[in-house]
Homo-oligomer: A and B are copies of this chain.
Amino acid sequence: MPKSPLSFLIAARQCEIGELEQLALTSELVNAIGRLIHALQKERGICNVFLGSQGTRFAEQRLQQVAECERVQQFVRDHFDALDTAPSRVRNGARLFSRIAFVLHALDALPALRRRVAAQAITPDESTTAFIRLIAGLLVVVFEAADSATDPEISRALVAMFNFMQGKEFAGQERACGAATFASGHTDAARQQQWLHLIESQERCFEVFTDFADPAVLNAWNVAQLAESMAELERLRRTGCAPNAGGRLDANLSQTWFDCCTQRIDAMKTVEDLLAANLRGLCERKIAQAHAELRDQKAILDELSRQADAGPHAPAHYGPQLERSILGLVQEQAHRLQVMSDELETVRAALNERKVVERAKGLLMATRKLSEDDAYKMLRQTAMSQNRRLLDVAESVLAMADYL
């Protein structure tokens, strides 16, 4: 049977609903990944202390945390297994699945890493690097999820979520960097620069998060920022990484620093849980609303068809007034989708920063025959030494592409 304009109107709306339902599933996956990242961050910190103390500290905590991680890992794997991997079911499927393949591969390598940690056959730095890479892989999955959202409001929530998770990860790396610096009893310019860079990267992420998060979440975040531990944290940052701090540090501050950071990161997890709950609620509301609108639209179209059938024309020919009603519906829908798509583009611009950095990295890898890690280090090094933002350096690199 030939399809009418009305059937395409309905099909367009059903596509929207399908995309929203897909987004709700992806959002659940993002929440699960957030839990795993949090557990891995904790394990990373514990391993660091365990290895740094030649196994004398945190041995018991480490085993407990490994058990916790394995539980959450299984939870994430269940989500991966539940994904419909048939072609065309998931928007952006090729990229999302390829990122998940990386994560699964890294998760498969975890037991071996843990055996080496248990046997103290690995340095704290090597262990930290392995965890950082796995967490980065998980964050890329979240990024792809945010990048594939087709609804501007959900996209906003996912952009806020991704930036918050990325900021929290920089905070975790700062915890490790600071703990190691204090524990070593001294610091130098390179350590200080690395530390300052982690603070700046965090702040950049939280700025974007602040721009995109909804008021309830922002409020929770602002409360967390006022906590006493934040003042303590800033004092320790000043001691540890201010350029005039001199070389020597009190090694006993390492534990104070670690506890203070942990308190902050745990508070972040509370905010992240709120973000996740809001995202879930948003998806549910949007799906319910789209279903209601579809019902309304169907009712109007049924009424139009009934009037048309009752009229003097064949069913395919509506009177001029009905024609105008249908045209109104068609134009309204096209206009609404256009507005949504414009909003979406504005929101997605916030994801642009990471893309520009990725592109600059790719350019350096290709032209300088660098590994991915080395290309990133080169960008970061330039940013630190020129005291510029990573984004600005990446843009300069791309602008100079012809010269490279």
A88 within 8 A of B: yes
Measured between C-beta atoms, what is the minimum distance from A359 to chain B in Å? Answer: 5
Interface contact A97-B338, CB-CB below 8 Å: no
Contacts of A341 in B (CB 8 A): 95
A67-100: contact bitstring with B at CB < 8 Å (1 yes, 0 no)?
Answer: 0000000000100110001111111011111111
Interface contact A334-B99, CB-CB below 8 Å: yes
Known contacts A12-B98, A94-B16; A362/B338 CB under 8 A: yes
A342 within 8 A of B: yes
| Minimal Cβ-Cβ distance residue in B for A140 | B334
Stretch at the interface among A3-11, A34-42, A382-390: A3-11
A108 within 8 A of B: yes
Stretch at the interface among A215-223, A225-233, A276-284, A325-333: A325-333
A122 within 8 A of B: no
Known contacts A88-B15, A345-B355; A2/B330 CB under 8 A: no
Interface contact A9-B88, CB-CB below 8 Å: no
Per a CB cutoff under 8 Å, which of B3, B7, B15, B98 touches A337?
B98
* Interface residues in A327-368 (C-beta closer than 8 Å to B): 327, 330-331, 333-335, 337-339, 341-342, 345, 355, 358-359, 362
Known contacts A12-B94, A87-B15, A88-B89; A105/B2 CB under 8 A: no
| Minimal Cβ-Cβ distance residue in B for A74 | B2
Per a CB cutoff under 8 Å, which of B16, B77, B323, B339 touches A109?
B323
* Interface residues in A294-339 (C-beta closer than 8 Å to B): 316-317, 323, 326-327, 330-331, 333-335, 337-339
Complex CA distance for A4 and B101, rounded to whole angstroms: 7
Complex CA distance for A18 and B90, rounded to whole angstroms: 11
Complex CA distance for A330 and B90, rounded to whole angstroms: 19
Interface contact B15-A93, CB-CB below 8 Å: yes
A102 within 8 A of B: yes
Contacts of A105 in B (CB 8 A): 5, 323, 326-327, 330
Interface contact B85-A5, CB-CB below 8 Å: no
Known contacts A77-B2, A339-B362; A91/B91 CB under 8 A: yes
| Minimal Cβ-Cβ distance residue in B for A331 | B102
Known contacts A8-B100, A80-B3; A88/B88 CB under 8 A: yes
Interface contact A93-B12, CB-CB below 8 Å: yes
A186 within 8 A of B: no
A66 within 8 A of B: no
* Interface residues in A231-251 (C-beta closer than 8 Å to B): none
Contacts of A9 in B (CB 8 A): 97-98, 101
A54 within 8 A of B: no
Measured between C-beta atoms, what is the minimum distance from A395 to chain B in Å? Answer: 14
A256 within 8 A of B: no
Complex CA distance for A105 and B322, rounded to whole angstroms: 12
Contacts of A330 in B (CB 8 A): 98, 101-102, 105
The interface centre, meaning the residue of A317, A338, A358 with most chain B CB atoms within 10 A of its CB, is A338
A142-159: contact bitstring with B at CB < 8 Å (1 yes, 0 no)?
Answer: 000000001000000000
- New contact pairs (9) apart from A3-B85, A16-B94, A105-B323, CB-CB < 8 Å: A3-B80, A5-B103, A6-B101, A9-B97, A13-B94, A15-B88, A19-B87, A88-B89, A101-B330
State the 6 A-B residue pairs at the shortest beta-carbon distance, nearest first: A18-B87, A15-B93, A11-B85, A12-B97, A8-B101, A5-B104
Can you list 18 A-B pairs, Cβ within 8 angstroms, ordered by A? A8-B85, A8-B98, A11-B93, A12-B101, A14-B86, A15-B85, A15-B88, A15-B94, A18-B93, A19-B87, A19-B88, A91-B91, A94-B337, A95-B334, A98-B337, A105-B330, A338-B358, A342-B358
